[in-house]
């Protein structure tokens, strides 16, 4: 079930919220949410709801076993099982295809549909087990609380990845206040209208024949996709945070204006914070971080960014995208402390955005070859034909250009500062009216089938 479906907005969410509000007692509310979570996942994913149940149960029992004598063995078994699960559903076909291409073999594997959200709920469940291994006092004896933590529907399909210790207290007891509900509804409604509009530019450019691509169209398409993926995923994260807040849960922010970043490392402190934090705490630091010398630090960074790219999907485009970011992070470390010739903050920001847009061109492409060709056009496609101009003019309508410009503006904390400056004023009321307008506009787009699936559902 999707957040922007009529069934979710008109039936599922109101019914669950009303029942949750009427029911008294935290245990009864937890049971209601567990039932709602399973129904939410079953709707469209009937074949894999048992996999979700088994995964949540498996990690609960592993967590209990970590208090026993063979803690390290239990942890290793859990990590191996999770890696195997992800490999079978996400990477088996890709790996066999790579072997066939390299060795000239013709091995065939069954084509398995990937369970939606498998990367997110597996990483979230694994973080619980690792945290319990490190801090045994985090072990939760009640099965329903661990099960609810792993399967809670706001973040189940596309994150953010929540740490158990961050909501442990709220699993046991939480307050459903009017302030939480209203704030949650407001964040949910903000949605992804900008993402769906600029997607028309991005999808149109990436679908152009190679002869119609040039420097101007390529940069327009890559920049539009950069805005699309940000507003798509940050919009989903806002929806998830808002939904959770309606039921008394408080999730940490998953984005913090990443396009304000000054450097790639700063970008990853702001982009998909729950994932970058996961890799930092559970992969980079255990590998040794920056504590084992310069060469080992460089290797660790490349390993983390390689896995980060691979996490997004079984395609060389994602792997190369991750390695490109890893290379930029290594270069930043090498340049640190060298005052001579260093650009100012503004130019560092411009360079960061240029790198982000360029690398997202590879990320968006269907194959590595087409991605590199696209980048070539961004930097060397100076010939502008009549057909390429006509194609760009078709895509850059007043509506899409307006959304593009608003996307640039809203990539910075403009609205946040206005709300702070004019809290309680007529401007605040106008903002609330704007939110209601967005609700009606969103419902109209949903009814007409105008919304696209969230990008991160593929990962």
Tens digits of residue pLDDT in 333-349: 888 766 555 668 888 99
Greater confidence, 243 or 341? 243
pLDDT of residue 193: 64
Q: State how far the alpha carbon of 244 is from the alpha carbons of 170, 178, 314, 329, in Å.
A: 11, 14, 31, 34
Over residues 81-97, the mean pLDDT reads: 93
d(CA 13, CA 189) in angstroms, rounded, equals 13
* Per-residue model confidence (pLDDT) at position 283: 96
Q: How far is CA 187 from CA 39, 100, 274, 459, in A?
A: 24, 47, 18, 23
Banded pLDDT at 190 (limits 50, 70, 90):
low
Q: Note the pTM of the prediction, 2 decimals.
A: 0.89
In the predicted structure, residue 222 carries a pLDDT above the cut 60: yes
d(CA 269, CA 104): 42
pLDDT value at 421 more than 60: yes
| Confidence label for 260 from pLDDT (cuts 50, 70 and 90) | very high
SS3 of 279, please? helix
Instruction: Tell me what pLDDT residue 444 has.
Output: 56
Peptide bond into 160 cis (omega under 30): yes
455 vs 16, more confident: 16
Give the Cβ contact number of residue 248 at 10 Å: 19
Give the helix/strand (H/E) hosting 153. Answer: helix 153-156
Other C-beta atoms within 10 Å of 387: how many? 12
User: What pLDDT is attached to residue 113?
Assistant: 84
- Whether 83 shows a pLDDT value over 90: the answer reads yes
Q: Name which residue leads in pLDDT, 146 or 347.
A: 146
Sorting pLDDT into bands at 50, 70 and 90, what band is 419? Answer: low
Residue 451 has pLDDT above 90, yes or no: no
Question: DSSP code of 458?
Answer: G
Q: Who wins on pLDDT, 439 or 290?
A: 290
Bigger pLDDT: 426 vs 334: 334
- CB of 417 within 8 A of CB of 260? no
Q: Confidence band (pLDDT; 50, 70, 90) for 16?
A: very high
Mean local confidence (pLDDT), 419-427: 60
Q: Give the Cα separation of 11 and 4 in Å (integer).
A: 12
pLDDT band of 449, cuts 50, 70, 90 = low
Q: What angle do CA 251, 252, 253 make, to 5 degrees?
A: 120
User: Which pLDDT belongs to residue 436?
Assistant: 57
Confidence at residue 143, expressed as pLDDT on a 0 to 100 scale: 96
pLDDT of residue 440: 59
How confident is the model over 396-404, as a mean pLDDT? 86
Most confidently modeled range among 172-181, 296-305, 427-436: 296-305
pLDDT (mean) for 288-309: 94
Indicate the SS3 state at residue 93. helix
Question: For the chain, what is the mean pLDDT?
Answer: 86
pLDDT digits (tens, 9 = 90+) for 170-184: 999 888 777 777 777
Which CA distances in Å does 70 have to 62, 67, 126?
11, 8, 18
Q: List residues with catalytic annotation.
A: 312
**What does the pLDDT read at residue 212?**
83
- For residue 106, what pLDDT is reported? 86
Please state, in angstroms and as integers, the Cα–Cα distance from residue 339 to each residue in 244, 265, 267, following that order.
46, 18, 21
Q: pLDDT grade, residue 8 (50/70/90)?
A: confident
The pLDDT score that the predictor gives to residue 450 is 53
Q: What pLDDT, on the 0 to 100 scale, is given for residue 181?
A: 79
Q: Which of 14-18, 295-299, 409-413 has the lowest mean pLDDT?
A: 409-413
pLDDT for 389 equals: 79
What is the mean predicted confidence (pLDDT) over 181-208?
Answer: 77
Which of the residue ranges 220-229, 234-243, 345-354, 377-386 would you say has the lowest mean pLDDT? 377-386
pLDDT of 427 strictly over 70? no
Which of residues 229 and 4 earns the better pLDDT score? 229
- The mean pLDDT of 25-33, rounded to a whole number, is 93
User: What percent of the chain is predicted at pLDDT more than 70?
Assistant: 88
């Amino acid at each position: 079930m999707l957040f922007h479906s009529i069934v979710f907005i008109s039936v599922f969410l109101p019914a669950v919220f009303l029942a949750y509000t009427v029911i008294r007692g935290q245990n009864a509310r937890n049971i209601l949410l567990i039932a709602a979570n399973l129904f939410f996942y079953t709707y469209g994913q009937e074949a894999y709801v048992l996999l979700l149940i088994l995964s949540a149960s498996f990690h609960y029992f592993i967590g209990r076993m970590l208090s026993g004598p063979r803690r390290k063995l239990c942890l290793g078994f859990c990590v191996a099982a999770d890696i195997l699960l992800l490999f079978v559903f996400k990477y088996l076909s890709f790996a066999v295809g790579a072997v066939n291409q390299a060795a000239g073999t013709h091995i065939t594997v069954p084509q398995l549909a990937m369970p939606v959200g498998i990367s997110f709920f597996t990483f979230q469940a694994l973080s619980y087990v690792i945290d319990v291994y490190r801090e045994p006092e985090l072990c939760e004896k009640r099965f329903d609380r661990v099960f609810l933590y792993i399967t809670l529907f706001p973040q189940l399909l596309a994150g953010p990845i929540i740490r158990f210790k961050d909501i442990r207290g709220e699993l046991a007891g939480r307050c459903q206040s009017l302030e939480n509900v209203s704030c949650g509804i407001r964040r949910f409604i903000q949605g992804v209208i900008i993402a769906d509009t600029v997607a028309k530019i991005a999808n149109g450019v990436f679908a152009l024949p190679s002869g119609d691509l040039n420097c101007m169209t390529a940069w327009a398409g890559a920049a539009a996709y950069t805005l699309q993926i940000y507003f798509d995923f940050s919009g989903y994260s806002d929806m998830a945070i808002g939904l959770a807040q309606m039921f008394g849960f408080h999730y940490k922010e998953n984005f913090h204006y990443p396009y304000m970043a000054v450097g790639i490392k700063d970008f990853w402190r702001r982009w998909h914070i729950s994932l970058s934090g996961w890799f930092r705490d559970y992969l980079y630091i255990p590998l040794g971080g920056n504590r084992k010398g310069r060469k080992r630090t460089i290797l660790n960074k490349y390993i983390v960014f390689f896995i980060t790219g691979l996490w997004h999907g079984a395609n060389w485009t994602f792997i190369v995208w991750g390695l490109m970011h890893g290379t930029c992070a290594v270069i930043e470390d090498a340049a640190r402390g060298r005052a001579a010739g260093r650009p100012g903050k503004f130019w560092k920001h411009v360079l960061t955005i240029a790198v982000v847009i360029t690398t997202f061109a590879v990320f968006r492409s269907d194959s590595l070859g087409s991605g590199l060709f696209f980048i070539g056009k961004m930097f060397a496609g100076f010939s502008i034909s009549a057909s390429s101009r006509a194609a760009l003019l078709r895509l850059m309508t007043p509506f899409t250009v307006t959304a593009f410009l608003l996307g640039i503006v809203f990539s910075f904390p403009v609205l946040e500062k206005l709300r702070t400056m004019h809290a309680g004023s007529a401007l605040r009321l106008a903002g609330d009216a704007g939110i209601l307008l967005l609700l009606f506009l969103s419902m109209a787009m949903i009814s007409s089938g105008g919304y696209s699936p969230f990008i991160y559902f593929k990962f």
